[in-house]
Structure 1
Amino acid sequence: MEFNPNNPVVKHCLQGMEMEGSNRPEEARACFRRAWEVATNDYEKFMAAYYLARHQDTTRDRLKWLETSLQLALQVNDEGVKGAFPSLYQKIAGCYAELGEHEPAKKNRELAATFSEKPSDKGPFYHGTKADLQVGDMLTAGSVSNYDAAIVMNHIYFTALVNGAGLAAALAKGSGPERVYIVEPTGSYENDPNVTDKKFPGNPTRSYRSSAPLKIVGEVPDWVRQTPEQIQKWREKLASNQGKIIN
C-alpha cells in the first residue's frame, strides 16, 4: 500500500502531530481518535492505533493500543510497515517493564532484536532529480543537500515509490525538467534515518540510502505530479523544518 499524504487518516495524524507540537494534547488525542474512526483498512488502523497509544492515561491502556497497532501491522504485507516492528516491540517491552511483568518484557525485547537493520525491500527503486542522465550512468554520494546547502551528503538516496521520487524531482535544485530514473543499488543500503520512525512509524515512504553508487537502468515517463500549490506547501514545510539532517 503506497503512502499518500492526502489520505484522510494521514491528514488527521499530521494534524494530531501539529497539536502535539503546540502542546495541545487533548486536541491531539481527538485528531488521532478521528483517524481511528475513519480508518478503513489494517494499514490505516495500524497508524492511528500507534498514535493513540501515546495519548493514554495509564500504562495498561498504552500497552493495549500498542499491541493493537502491532497486531494490525502483522496483517499488512507492506515493506514500509516492517521497519516499525523493532520500535513497536521495544515500546511494548517498556510497558510490560513498567507494569513489573518481566517475562513478557523480556520476550518483546528479544522479538525486537530479531529484526535485521538491513531492509528486505527488493524494489524496483527510483531516484528523482532534474539532472539529464543516461542509462548506465552512476549516481554517487557527495552532492550538496537539496535541503541544506551547508551539507555535503555522504549517501545517495532513493525510494521504492515512484510518486515519492517524482516529489523529490519536483523539489530538487536545478532548472531542467523533472526526471525519475529507475536505479539499482551497487552496494548495501539502509532505511533513510531522516524519515524512518520520525513522524510515521516504520518507513512508509520506503526511502533508503547507500554510500555506494546507484546505477541508472531506465527512466519512468509518468507519475502522479504535484500541483504548483502543493509543491509550494512542501517547500514551506521543508523551510520551517527544525530537525537536523542525519548524514
Structure 2
Amino acid sequence: MEFSPFNTIVKRCLQGMEMEAKGNPEEANHLFRQGWEEATNEFEKFLAAYYVARHQPTVAGRLHWLTIALEHALKADNEATKSALPTLYSQISACYDDLDDVENAKKNHELSTLYGAAPSDKGPFYHGTKADLQLGDLLIAGGLSNYQSELVMNHIYFTALVSGAGLAAALAKGDGPERVYIIEPTGSFEHDPNLTDKKFPGNLTRSYRSQAPLKIVGEVTEWGKQTPQAIQTFRDKLDNNKGEIIN
C-alpha cells in the first residue's frame, strides 16, 4: 500500500507523536496500541509496532516490538518499507548491545549498513505544484519554501507517490489549479532528510530531493484528491509545526 497521512493507522501514529511532543507519553502509548489493534495489513502493522516499541519500559520489550515491526516490514516488501530497514536493524542492534549480546548486535549493525545505501527507488517520480509548466521545462532549486515563506530552498523536491505530489500541489502557493507533473531527475538525488527518520522510520513517503534540475516529461490529470476540509486540517497542522526545515 502507499503511505498516506489520511490513512487511519498513520493518523493514529501522528496523534501519538503529537501527544509525545506535548509530554503525554501515556496517551501516546494508548494511541499507538490502538493503531496496532486496528491495523489490517503488513504495512500498517509494521508502522504501529514500530511506535509501540518506543514506549516499552524494558530493553527486552523494545526489542520484541522492533522485531515484530521488522517481520511485517519484510512481509510488506515494498519500496517504502525497504527504506525503513536501516533504521529497524540499527535500533535492534542497539537493543542487543544493551543486552550484551555482541553477536546479534554486530549482525544487525551489518544489516543496517547493508541496507543504508543511496535510494534504490526507480520511480516514476512526480512533482506537485500550481505552476503552469510545459514538457521539457526544468524545475530548479532556489524557490521559496511552501512551509516557511522566507526560506530559499537549496534543493528541488519530488516523490514517487502520485498522491503525495497531489497533496504538495494542494498545499503549494498560488491561485492556479493543482498540477502533478511526471519528472525525471537530471542528477543524483537523496532521501528527503526532513522526513527520513524524523517522524517516520525510513522514507515511507518516498520523498526525495536533488540540487540538480528535474525535467518535466509528462503530467498526471487524475489522482486521489482529498476534500478541501481534509486539506485545510492538514494545512493547519503544518502551520502549527515549529520544527526546523533541514535545507
TM-score, normalising length: structure 2: 0.96
Q: Which residue of 1 aligns with 2:69?
A: 69
The answer to whether the Cα contact below 8 Å between 2:194 and 2:246 also exists between their aligned partners in 1 is: yes
Aligned partner of residue 148 in structure 1, secondary structure: coil
Alignment pair present for 1:165 and 2:165 = yes
CA contact (8 A) 1:159 1:165 kept: yes
5 Å matches for 1:46-195?
46-195=46-195
- Residue number in structure 2 paired with 1:40: 40
Residue identity matched to 1:66: L
Aligned partners of 2:191 and 2:208 also within 8 Å: yes
Structure-2 separation of matches of 1:77 and 1:70: 11
RMSD: 1.2
Query: Counterpart of 2:207 in structure 1: which amino acid?
Result: S
Shift of 1:221: 1.0
Alpha-carbon distance in 2 for matches of 1:125, 1:75: 24
Count of residue pairs brought into register by the alignment: 247
Instruction: Return 5+ residue gaps in structure 1 as ranges.
Output: none
Structure 2 SS opposite 1:83: helix
Equivalent-residue separation in structure 2 for 1:116 and 1:23 (angstroms): 32
Residues 1:236 and 2:236 aligned together: yes
Conserved in 1, the CA contact under 8 Å of 2:4 and 2:164? no
Q: CA deviation at 1:238?
A: 1.4
Counterparts of 2:239 and 2:13, CA distance in 1? 21
In structure 2, runs of 5+ residues without a counterpart are none
**For residue 232 of structure 1, what is the amino acid of its counterpart?**
Q
Note the C-alpha offset of 1:117: 3.2
Scaled by the length of structure 1, what TM-score is found?
A: 0.96
| 8 Å Cα contact 1:196/1:202 also seen in 2 | yes
Among the aligned pairs, what percent are the same residue? Answer: 65
Q: Following TM superposition, by how much is the alpha carbon of 1:116 offset from its aligned partner in structure 2, in angstroms?
A: 3.8
**1:199 Cα deviation from its structure 2 partner:** 1.6
